[in-house]
Structure formats: C-alpha cells, structure tokens
Amino acid sequence: MICKKSTTWLLAVLLFALHIPSFSQSSQWTYDFNNGLIPIESGGPSLKQLGEPGQYIKEKIPGSEDLSRSIYVFQKNSGLQFSNIEAKGFLNKSFTIEIYFKLDELDSWKRVLDFKNRKSDYGSYIYDGKLNFYDYAIGEKAPVKAGQYVHYVYSRDFETKVIKMYINGLSKVEFKDPGTEGMLDNDQVLNFFQDDLIANHESSAGSIALIRVYDRVMTPVFIRRSYQTIAKTFKEPIAKAEKAPEKETIAPEPSVKKKSNMATVTGRIYDGRNLKPVNDAEVLVRKSNNDSLVAQTKTVDGIYNFELTPYESYRISAQADGFQSKSVSIRTTNRFEEVKSLISLSPESYTAPLSTLYFTQSTEVLEDAAMSGLDSIVAYFQKRDDLKIILKGHTDNTGDFEKNLDLSRKRVETVKAYLTGRGIPENRIEGVGYGSAQPSRVNQTEALKKSNRRVDVWAEPIKR
C-alpha cells in the first residue's frame, strides 16, 4: 500500500511542476486512479468502465524504494469512457488529451481513442509502432513497445481543424481533419482503448497511470515539459526507436536511391472491412490543377511509393479487383518532405461512377487528361469480363436543350469509339445522353458548369 506521504509528494510533483491549478471550474480534468475513477479536481465527471471491469493496483515506481502509484489495469477490448455530457460540453471545441499508459500487445492495430462510441473504424490507433489516425494519416515509427509505458498526447484545434499527435513529448503526426472525424459525435463520449464493433479484434489489454483532458490545444513546449516531468517522476526506462531504416518498413523498393530535390509520398492500401493490405492495387497520381497523369504503380503488400515534385497538389487514386475505386488529395509542401497517406477501399457496389471524363464547352473531343483516365479504365474492364460499361453523357445548361442533348450523345459515342478501339467489345458498352437534365452541380458559375460537361463511366454486372 502507498502511504499518505508518498501520495501527497507524487501529486504535488505532477501538479505544481506543471503549474496546473486545481479548482472547481477546471480547464482540465486529471485522473491518477488514487481515488478510483474520480478526477483530482473537484466537481469533475467520473470515468466509466467499458467492457470487463478493470482493477486498481498499487505499482512500485521504478528506481524508488518507498514510492508507488495507482494504476488502472484493463482487459482486452475493455477500457474507460469520458462523458462530455456530464462534463457539460468540455470537449466541444479545441481540446487536448494526455495519457500515460502501456499496452500488452502491439502486434497489429490497437485502438487508443474512439470518438464515435464504437460505431466507426475512424479514430486513433497504434500500428507497428506508428501513430495512426485511420484512415487519414500515419506517422513515422515511434518508440512504442508492448509492455512499456508511453506518454501519448492528442489535440484538435477547433478553428483550423488541425490534429496533432505526440509520443514522449515529440510530435509524430500532424494533419487537417477532413471533417469531424476527430471530434465526438452525437453520443458525446470519448472511449479509451475499447475497439469498435466493426473489427473488434483491434485492441489490447494494458494499464493506465494517468489521463488528463484539457479544454484547449496545449503547446508543443508544454507537452514536452509535461512528458519530462512525468518521466522524471515515474522513472520509466526511455524507449528508443528501432535502428532499422524507416524505408525498409514502408517502401516496396528500398534499394531505389532517392532524388535529392523530390518529395517522397508513401502509403498503404487497406481493405476497409478488416484493415488487411490490398496487394496488386493500381495506384495513379494526377495533378489536381489539370488532371494530368504523372505517375502510377502497383502495391506490394499494400504499400505504394512515389517521388513527386514539391509544392504541388495531387490526387492519388487506388483501384483493385473487387473494390470500389477511391481517391485522396495531398500536397507536397517542401523538398525532401515525406508525405504519408492511407487509402481504405470498400467492396464494389456499383453505386458511383468508376471515372468521370470532362470536355471543353460545345465539343465532344477527348482531351489528353480524359484519355489517360480511359486507359486505366480499359485495363480494368479487360480483366473484368463479368462487367459491362454504362456511359452517361452530360452538358451544362448553356444554349438550346435539344442541341445539348445531341452533344451529350456525341460525347458518349466518342468515349465508346475510344474504348472499342482499345479492344473492349462493343456489345459490352451501353450509353445514353442526358443533355443538361442531370447536372452534378448547379450551373451558376463557369467553374461549376465545367463539372457538368462530362461523361460518367459506370460498371454493371453482366447478367448470365
């Protein structure tokens, strides 16, 4: 058992060394498990147990003779929950979450934070020693090892949507939330360590020594100082990153020498149902401003790797047999930069076009960018003889309706002629022109009208 003197000393170090006040209208809630799931600060919400009830254990602090700490030990696919409703909207805007914990297993994806109350795969994980926010960002390999305590910090800025993740005081991941994936949903609960109901094997048993939540974004200096204070207090051995080169773990061709002035883009393609890598997926890179194809490759064990010109915006598209194609946008902001991205593929559903080809106003002539897109479509349909092609032609609303209808049909015929010229049998291609009747966007500006001058390429199973 820990004596009162030890408890008082340890609490004083953790609070006063960080200059964190304790008062009823707190700007943070701290849980050190000396008083169960009740926070140190008065008036705060208690944490709730998830899954199997955990145990409170007094654990000796390494390197000390008479000091110990309280920890909460949880089982696999169990953990804790913070209620934002009971906290009266504490995490509704900018916030930071700080945890000092260890996981027993790190052999695959392991959940850390869940913002959607077990209804989604999206959230914070540790995978292969890397911090990850599925499926938008992955960091470099961090010193995270099974059975060893680690200081983990997650923050989200309400105004900029920027999410940052730190390990042992150092920033490892920074990206812009594409929506509200990094915020609480209508259930208004933050779950720790318990995985969702979609792929519920992605969790580990473990122990927590400290949880602290803040109603603001904490600075990198503060986070580094917080880690240094906790590490000094708890005297844990400092985990060090593996010596193996990073490229050996993520690059399909690590022997290729990097060009000195290029940005490296690496990523992985995953099956969204089970997070397994998708091998032999085709990955295409196009410039965002003109849709020109600049690079393409195929995945090896789900991995792809490109070297691209810096200071450019690109669209990376992935397609694989049995999956619906998907695209993500990236920007290379510097030379020598390494950009990392994940692409999660869903099973084929045929509820969206495989590709959209754009045309210049009043013409049915295929542009170079459209032909590049068609080439990849040809390769796809040559392998998938169980599918037929449905072409749907469209125009903007400029000019006479009947003339636009005729133009949309001509655009369909142009695409059909290109496909048959590349070896796709004519009896596998159907097409119809809609003129201006089915705009994808409202024809209010020239930029919006441009998106309506198109032919959508759909796939449909052939009925046997």
pLDDT value at residue 18: 45
Q: Is residue 199's pLDDT more than 80?
A: no
- Higher-confidence residue of 402 and 383: namely 402
**110-137 average pLDDT score:** 86
Tell me what pLDDT residue 391 has: 96
Q: What is the pLDDT of residue 337?
A: 60
How much is the average pLDDT of 228-253? 53
* Nearest of 307, 314, 244, 318 to residue 278 by alpha carbon: 318
The stretch 323-337 carries a mean pLDDT of 78
C-alpha–C-alpha distance, residues 25 and 204, integer Å:
34
Half-sphere exposure of 427 (CA within 13 A, CB side): 3
**pLDDT grade for 67, boundaries at 50, 70 and 90:** confident
Above 70 in pLDDT, residue 257? no
Give the pLDDT confidence score for residue 255 in this predicted structure: 37
**Cα 265 vs. chain centroid, distance in angstroms?**
15
Mean pLDDT of 134-161: 86
**What is the rounded distance in angstroms from the CA atom of residue 35 to the CA atom of residue 16?**
19
Please report the pLDDT score of residue 198 as a whole number: 59
Q: Using pLDDT thresholds of 50, 70 and 90, give the confidence band for residue 336.
A: low
| Alpha carbon distance 378, 419 (integer Å) | 7
Flag the least confident range among 71-80, 329-338, 387-396, 399-408.
329-338
Q: What letter represents residue 203's amino acid?
A: S
Q: What are phi and psi of 439, to 5 degrees?
A: -70, 145
Mean pLDDT of all residues in 335-349: 77
Task: Kindly indicate the confidence band of residue 139, based on its pLDDT and cuts at 50, 70 and 90.
Answer: confident
Dihedral of CA 163/109/352/384: which sign?
positive
CA distance 36 to 306: 50
Share of the chain above pLDDT 70, in %: 87
β-pair partners for 60: 68
Q: What is the pLDDT of residue 247?
A: 34
Q: Is the pLDDT of residue 286 over 90?
A: no
- Render pLDDT for 438-463 as a digit per residue (tens, 0 to 9): 999 999 999 899 999 999 999 998 87
pLDDT for the residue numbered 389: 95
Who wins on pLDDT, 412 or 27?
A: 412
Q: What is the pLDDT of residue 244?
A: 38
Determine the pLDDT at residue 93: 92
Is the backbone peptide bond immediately before 135 cis, with ω within 30 degrees of 0? Answer: yes
Residue 2 has pLDDT above 90, yes or no: no
pLDDT higher than threshold 60 for residue 12: no
- Express each pLDDT in 269-285 by its tens digit: 988 887 788 998 989 88
Helices 220-234 & 4-16 angle (0-180, nearest 10): 160
Q: What average pLDDT does the segment 136-143 reach?
A: 76
The average pLDDT across 114-125 equals: 88
Whether the predicted pLDDT of 169 surpasses 60: yes
Whole-angstrom distance, CA of residue 108 vs CA of residue 248? 18
Pair 226, 137: CB distance under 8 Å: no
Q: What average pLDDT score do residues 409-437 get?
A: 95
Check: CB of residue 430 under 8 Å from CB of residue 325: no
- Categorize the per-residue pLDDT at 9 as very low, low, confident or very high, splitting at 50, 70 and 90: very low
